[in-house]
Amino acid sequence: MSEAEWPTSSAVFFPGEDYIHHDIYPAINAETNKDLAQPGKVVLITGAGRGIGRAMALQYAHAGVASIIICSRTASELDDVESSIKAINGSTRVHKHTVDVTKEEAVKKCADVVKSEEGRLDILINNAGGSAAWTPLSDSDPKDWWRNLETNVQGPYHFLQAFLPLLVETAKKNDVVVDIINVASVGALIVLPGSSAYSISKLALLRLNEFVEAEYGSQGVNTVAIQPGGVVTRLAEQEIDTLRPYLTDTADLAGGWAVWFTKGARTWLNGRYASANWNVDRLEQMKDEIVNEDKLKVKLAV
């Protein structure tokens, strides 16, 4: 899709049309770029059983992190991801948790186990998501519509509420910046008929991301909400005919972008939205503009 086919408010081509990627590239590829190594870190990824979450887990294995905690509702998927991580880096500890992100007690139990087993958390990635069927409001199923918000907003909230104390403790004890990545969507920034549940949930996630920065940024927490790219995932396949022209990106693109973001205290993106499609070197060049003009946040144009 060309720049002219997207509304300006979508920010799809924020760094310029010449600075857009659809696949992983050297600056963000931990398999080939050893500058992205992050030994000693503990990473937790929800929705890690397949697609984007799986790609993120494998990129962190290439980055040589100490431990990867993978969460999903499907245990068999986690077994496969564990095997793939170990094939890349046999020294990386892998912890598997079968968790429904909408269940408060299950998330709290996961947090207790992580604190007991690892004693720290450096990176939290809220990747688990869902989408109700795209349909006009009057034709929608109320339970399905609301379940979408439970998965895409309540789920990240549960993990933030349960794990922020450990993240803050890790930052304080080790004098480091810890990172949160909330996987959002360009759908939060545009209005496509039929997508109300999904788009509203992702818009709410952008604002939740800003609250994390406002409340915990001064305590060493660095948070970003990302558009992971247009990836053919099980979620996207639900509306494949509508989305097909936009599904031109690999899951590895988002995996690499995540590793790049958490490599070096990129606090100039704290509380903001970003896209995995944007060239990171160009984004670095734009950081003063982004900070000084307070860009990439949810605002009302008046």
**Can you spell out the DSSP letters for 173-215?**
HHT--EEEEEE--GGGSS--TT-HHHHHHHHHHHHHHHHHHHH
Domain span including residue 51: 3-292
- State pLDDT tens for residues 94-111: 999 999 999 999 999 999
- Domain contains 195: yes
> How many helices and strands (H and E) does the chain possess?
11, 7
pLDDT average, residue stretch 246-251: 85
Q: What is the chain's alpha carbon radius of gyration, rounded to the nearest angstrom?
A: 18
For residue 300, being part of any structural domain is answered with no
Q: Please give the pLDDT value at position 9.
A: 80
* pLDDT > 80? residue 7: no
Q: What is the mean pLDDT of the chain?
A: 94
Q: What is the pLDDT of residue 234?
A: 54
Q: Name the helix (H) or strand (E) containing 179.
A: strand 178-183
Which residue matches tokens 């069927």? 133
Residue 302 lies in a domain: no
Mean pLDDT in residue range 226-242: 69
Backbone angles phi, psi at 254, to 5 degrees: -70, -35
- pLDDT of 241 strictly over 70: no
Question: φ and ψ at 15, to 5 degrees?
Answer: -85, -5
Determine the pLDDT at residue 133.
86
- Residue 38 pLDDT level (bands cut at 50, 70, 90): very high
Portion of the chain with pLDDT greater than 70, in percent: 94
Residue 298 resides in a domain: no
| Predicted local confidence at residue 96, as pLDDT | 98
CB 107 within 8 A of CB 99: yes
Amino acid at 59: Q
Q: Give the CATH number of the domain where residue 234 resides.
A: 3.40.50.720
The total of structural domains in the chain comes to: 1
Q: Cα separation of 183 and 235, whole Å?
A: 13
- Spatial separation of the C-alpha atoms in residues 267 and 290, rounded to whole Å: 11
How far apart CA 188 and CA 226 sit, in angstroms, is 11
* Average pLDDT value for residue range 2-13: 75
Ramachandran quadrant class, 261 (left: phi over 0; alpha: psi -120 to 50; beta: rest): alpha
Check: pTM over 0.85? Answer yes or no.
yes
**Rounded mean pLDDT of 247-258?**
94
Distance CA 130, CA 72 (A): 13
Q: Which residue has the tokens 């998501």?
A: 129
Average pLDDT value for residue range 258-269: 97
Nearest to 69 by CA among 8, 17, 129, 117: 117
Residue 273: its H or E element: strand 272-275
Can you tell me the distance from the alpha carbon of 42 to that of 68, in angstroms, rounded to the nearest whole number? Answer: 6
Q: Which residues are catalytic?
A: 198, 202
- CA–CA separation, 288 and 283 (whole Å): 10
Residue 147 resides in a domain? yes
